[in-house]
């Protein structure tokens, strides 16, 4: 993007990050938000907890600067920071709570990150960044090479280099990184790890923007509902296949691997024990930074799933009809206003028919789309004449694969393997067959698993029968074993 005068002037007037940096209270806002959101890697904080933390901050500042400093209440400041004209916090209602919650906006996080670069660093490494750039160029060049002979030649060269290095080590020549090189690489690792956490908020922000865009199109749609559903569902597929969607899915598949998590844990423990790294006094949270990535990714997945579920509710028959009624009323008002402008009446300005739309539109809540792709269990009902009940199309359950994956990883912490039946015994199925299918998808896509065809397991759960009463249900399947 070109940073010409017009572009910068528009950013100065409209971008929340620029407004934050120009605020008279930027020291209070940036310092407080850094401490409560970024340092502990918190995604959402309830209004009561955040207001209490800010009251403590304000009390300490008034003790230092005088009683007249920051005269407003903490809640007033929070609501002001979350106002549309500020855009530094996002205020919303979670699906499981009636209390307002707050989250940091991507713009605020960018501004705070830039302020962090102004602090003078005692050591600035450059070698590791050059090596990273060089390695990226190599990956792009090799990954786009279509000539098999060229790729084989490159692999053979790499193999020869590895063989030569093995020969040197066997001969007693063991090359080691010096302390400067270690500090350089560790500093680069910390920087990229923090940037990765920042990216998750921007991904969520983009999904929320998409959700608002889709809702606007639904509200303004004037054609048939079938055409709307086809277009909306097609657009969702296009989003999943976009560059951002594919990159995030590849990242998630990599991180969800239990072997990768164990490898990251081992590498972090070894690196953080190096004397050169210990001298840098790294943040204690660095030891579990990969779990911070995982938690942030799971929050993004839950957000997308919740938005997807709300969008389906928004498309159900009742909401659809009420939306059409609202739009018809608005169009009627617009047409009357236009006619009045052309020929103003002599008496009353305008009368509107007594018709009110009784509708509850969902408030903006966090977006969520499950880990790889949401596994939805359709509840299909049949009437006596074998016609499908149309309401069944919207009676769907969202399976949180991230939560199931956490359950599997936790169970494998103190054992080398566990069967699917044992997992269901430890944590009974809440959504029946749909949840069972989600476990099977995780077994094939994410975890290392083995299927024993000679042994059959019976998995039980409680579910609703045709008459609506709870009853025992079961599934027979070959034994599935998750392996660490």
What ranges do the domains of the chain cover? 12-117, 398-483
pLDDT of residue 363: 36
How far is it, in rounded angstroms, from Cα 30 to Cα 21?
9
Dihedral angle over CA of 267, 268, 273, 275, nearest 10: 90
Residue 342 pLDDT: 54
**Residues 344-374 as b or e (16 or more Cβ within 10 Å = b):** eeeeeeeeeeeeeeeeeebebbbbbbbbbeb
pLDDT at 399: 78
Q: What pLDDT does residue 89 have? A: 95
pLDDT given at position 368: 35
Q: Is the distance from CB of 326 to CB of 314 less than 8 angstroms?
A: no
DSSP secondary structure code for residue 84 in this structure:
T
Residue 191: CB atoms within 10 Å = 14
The reported pLDDT for the residue numbered 27 is: 94
The set of long-range contacts for 81-88, using a CB threshold of 8 Å and a minimum separation of 24, is 81/29, 86/16, 86/19, 86/20, 87/16, 87/19, 88/16, 88/19, 88/20, 88/29, 88/33
Q: Which helix (H) or strand (E) holds 418?
A: strand 417-419
The candidate with the shortest Cα–Cα distance to 102, out of 88, 114, 84, 112, is 88
Contact 8, 17 (CB under 8 A): no
* 134: alpha, beta or left? (left if phi > 0; alpha if psi -120 to 50): alpha
Q: Which two tokens stand for residue 471?
A: 């009853």
Q: How far apart are the first and last CA of the chain?
A: 46
Q: How far is Cα 168 from Cα 451, in angstroms, rounded to an integer?
A: 44
SS3 416: coil
pLDDT of residue 324: 57
**Plot region of 394 (φ>0 → left; ψ -120 to 50 → alpha; else → beta):** alpha
Both tokens assigned to 79: 């609501």
pLDDT of residue 382: 34
The SS3 assignment for 464 reads: strand
Predicted pLDDT at 442: 86
CA 78 – CA 450 distance, rounded (Å): 52
Rounded Cα–Cα distance for residues 103 and 201 (Å): 9
C-beta of residue 103 within 8 angstroms of C-beta of residue 25: no
3-state secondary structure (DSSP) of residue 389: coil
307 phi, psi to nearest 5 deg: -65, -40
Could you tell me which residues come within 8 angstroms of residue 157 by beta carbon, excluding any fewer than 6 positions away?
Answer: none
Tell me the mean pLDDT per 10 residues along the chain, length 484.
Answer: 83 91 93 92 90 94 91 94 92 83 91 85 68 78 85 90 90 87 86 79 73 66 60 53 67 75 86 89 81 76 64 54 56 59 50 40 36 34 38 54 84 85 89 84 82 86 71 84 86
| Coarse DSSP helix, strand, coil percentages of the chain, rounded to the nearest 5 percent | 60, 10, 25
- Domain 12-117, CATH number (from 1.10.1060, 1.10.287, 1.10.10, 1.10.3470): 1.10.10
């Amino acid at each position: 993007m070109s940073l010409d005068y017009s572009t910068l002037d528009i950013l100065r007037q409209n971008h929340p990050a620029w407004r934050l940096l120009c605020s008279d209270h930027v020291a209070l806002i940036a310092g407080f938000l850094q401490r409560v959101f970024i340092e502990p890697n918190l995604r959402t904080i309830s209004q009561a907890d955040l207001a209490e933390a800010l009251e403590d901050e304000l009390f300490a500042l008034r003790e230092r600067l005088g009683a007249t400093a920051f005269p407003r209440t903490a809640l007033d400041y929070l609501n002001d920071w979350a106002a549309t004209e500020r855009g530094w916090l996002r205020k919303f209602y979670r699906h499981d709570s009636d209390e307002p919650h707050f989250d940091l906006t991507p713009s605020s996080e960018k501004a705070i990150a830039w302020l962090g670069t102004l602090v003078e660093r005692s050591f600035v490494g450059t070698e590791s960044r050059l090596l990273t750039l060089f390695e990226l160029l190599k990956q792009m060049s090799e990954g786009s090479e279509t000539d098999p002979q060229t790729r084989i030649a490159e692999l053979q060269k790499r193999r020869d280099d590895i063989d030569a290095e093995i020969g040197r080590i066997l001969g007693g020549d063991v090359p080691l990184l010096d302390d400067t090189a270690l500090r350089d690489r560790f500093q680069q690792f910390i920087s990229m790890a923090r940037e990765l956490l920042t990216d998750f908020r921007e991904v969520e922000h983009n999904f929320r923007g998409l959700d608002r865009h889709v809702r606007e199109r639904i509200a303004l749609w004037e054609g048939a509902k079938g055409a709307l559903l086809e277009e909306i569902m097609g657009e969702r597929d296009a989003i999943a296949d976009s560059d951002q969607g594919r990159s995030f899915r590849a990242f998630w598949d990599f991180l969800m691997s239990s072997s990768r998590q164990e490898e990251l844990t081992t590498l972090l423990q070894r690196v953080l024990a190096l004397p050169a790294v210990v001298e840098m006094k790294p943040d204690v949270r660095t030891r579990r930074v990969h779990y911070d990535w995982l938690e942030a990714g799971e929050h993004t997945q839950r957000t997308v799933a919740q938005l997807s579920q709300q969008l389906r509710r928004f498309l159900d028959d009742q909401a659809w009809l009420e939306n059409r009624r609202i739009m018809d009323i608005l169009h009627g008002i617009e047409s009357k206003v236009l006619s009045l402008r052309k020929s103003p009446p002599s008496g009353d300005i305008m009368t509107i028919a007594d018709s009110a739309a009784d509708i509850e539109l969902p408030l903006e809540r966090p977006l969520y789309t499950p880990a790889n792709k949401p596994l939805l269990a359709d509840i299909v009902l049949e009437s006596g004449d074998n016609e499908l009940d149309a309401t069944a199309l919207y009676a769907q359950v969202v399976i949180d694969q991230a939560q199931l994956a956490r359950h599997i990883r936790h169970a494998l912490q103190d054992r080398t393997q566990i069967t699917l039946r044992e997992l269901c015994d430890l944590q009974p199925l809440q959504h029946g067959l749909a949840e069972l299918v989600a476990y099977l998808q995780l077994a094939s896509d994410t975890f290392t698993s083995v299927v024993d065809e000679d042994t059959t397991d019976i998995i039980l759960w409680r579910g609703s029968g045709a008459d609506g009463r709870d009853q025992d249900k079961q599934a027979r399947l070959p034994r599935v074993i998750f392996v660490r």
